[in-house]
Amino acid sequence: MKKYAMIGCGGIGQYHLNHLLQFQDIEAVAFCDLIPDRAAAFAKQAGGEVYTDYRELLDKSRPDMLFICIPPYAHGDIEMDVIKQGIPFFVEKPVSLDLNLAKRIRDEIARAGLITAVGFQCRYSSLNPPTRTFIEQNEISFVQCSRIGGVPEVSWWRNKTLSGGQIVEQTIHQFDLIRFVFGEPVNVFSMNARGFVRDVEDYDTDDLSVTVVRFANGALASISTGCYAQDGAAFDSKLTFSSRKSRLDHYLLQRVDIYGIDQAITKDSGLVVKGDGTMAAAAASANSVDDNGQAGLTCDRTFVEAVISGDGSKILSPYADAVKTLAFTLACNQSIETGQPVDMTKLLAD
């Protein structure tokens, strides 16, 4: 029976533990958190030793696989030590806030030949095959993405130096999915805004940002994200893949709605101006596909099975690929800081 351990026993750690507890072919050996009660609470659920120093965990418990569920600012030494010990690991996104550090970790993983996975569970969504089919069958000229919500509770989140900001910490899921189902970014240009969130203590991050992306095939995307909203009625989250005759709205881990001229038009349809200047009904009816709700479980199971079998080929988000998504989001921050577009090919040159 393979043994697993976890470093970082907070919110997302519990999410993974809920999955791991369902697997009969692995057992917990240790949990580590700087806050001992948190590691103890996990050990109470799953068994295993409790540590506050990950080095001690590595030396004493000798796990076959590790789940690293620490905040964005805490990456680096842990991964390097885990790689030195040759332990396959699953690490949460964003893999770092420092692209050069992430590249060094990536290169050490390659040298060691380790199986790794990153917490981009949306890649395992049952919505991705229909989304990809739509993209293959329709020439997409525009991707429109929005993620508007509030300020998460964890204290490090509201400090951009610790979290990376909303793009890097949260909306990175959408950035990653765009890469996964559509294509690689070539140029990135972002603007931020502050001053709308006034009532959160120790708040020092962007309230919102808008990013323009150019892709290799010439298509554009606009990605808007904000944490200024205080009421669910103001929340919004979706990706729209838009072509000349149809569009697909992808609601992450929920459903896709596919709108097309052929499926139109039954109720509440608005009017659009056609290419010849005449008015036509906009499609209001859609073919919908619901998510099967298995993405998170499948993501964790795929990693566990990869470690058991020694074959990492089914993992959809290995560390090296997650570094590219990290670069995509850090490019936005760089553009915000400099006021200039960022050339992704330069950023990923080495």
Residue numbers at the binding site for ligand NAD (CB under 6 A): 7-13, 32-35, 38, 54, 69-72, 74, 92-93, 119, 121, 154, 169
Count of helices and strands (H, E) across the chain: 12, 17
Work out how close the CB of 214 gets to ligand NAD at its nearest, in angstroms, rounded to a whole number. Answer: 27
Nearer to ligand NAD, 105 or 258 (CB): 105
Work out how close the CB of 72 gets to ligand NAD at its nearest, in angstroms, rounded to a whole number. Answer: 5
Nearer to ligand NAD, 30 or 336 (CB): 30
* Helix (H) or strand (E) run with residue 103 in it: helix 99-112
Query: What sign has the CA pseudo-torsion 306, 312, 316, 317?
Result: positive
Work out how close the CB of 38 gets to ligand NAD at its nearest, in angstroms, rounded to a whole number. Answer: 5
Nearer to ligand NAD, 134 or 328 (CB): 328
Return the SS3 of 27: strand
How far is Cα 258 from Cα 332, in angstroms, rounded to an integer?
Answer: 29
How far is Cα 299 from Cα 79, in angstroms, rounded to an integer?
Answer: 20
How far is Cα 154 from Cα 139, in angstroms, rounded to an integer?
Answer: 41
Ramachandran area for residue 277 (φ above 0: left; ψ -120 to 50: alpha; else beta): left
CA atoms within 13 A on the CB side of 145: 24
How far is Cα 320 from Cα 26, in angstroms, rounded to an integer?
Answer: 26
Q: Which residue is nearest to ligand NAD (CB)?
A: 10
Tokens at 204, concatenated: 């020092």
Cβ atoms 285, 264 nearer than 8 A? yes
How far is Cα 39 from Cα 118, in angstroms, rounded to an integer?
Answer: 21
Nearer to ligand NAD, 35 or 220 (CB): 35
Nearer to ligand NAD, 9 or 286 (CB): 9
Which residue from 221, 253, 260, 216 is spatially nearest to 237, judged by alpha carbons? 253
Nearer to ligand NAD, 85 or 345 (CB): 85
Work out how close the CB of 172 gets to ligand NAD at its nearest, in angstroms, rounded to a whole number. Answer: 8
How far is Cα 286 from Cα 76, in angstroms, rounded to an integer?
Answer: 46
* Beta-strand runs (E) in 182-235: 185-193, 208-215, 220-226
Nearer to ligand NAD, 72 or 219 (CB): 72
Work out how close the CB of 73 gets to ligand NAD at its nearest, in angstroms, rounded to a whole number. Answer: 8
Nearer to ligand NAD, 189 or 251 (CB): 251
Q: For the beta carbon of residue 107, count every other beta carbon within 10 angstroms.
A: 13
Nearer to ligand NAD, 13 or 318 (CB): 13
The identity of residue 337, as a single letter, is E
Work out how close the CB of 39 gets to ligand NAD at its nearest, in angstroms, rounded to a whole number. Answer: 8
* Residue 182 backbone phi and psi in degrees, to 5: -120, -60
Work out how close the CB of 14 gets to ligand NAD at its nearest, in angstroms, rounded to a whole number. Answer: 8
Work out how close the CB of 337 gets to ligand NAD at its nearest, in angstroms, rounded to a whole number. Answer: 21
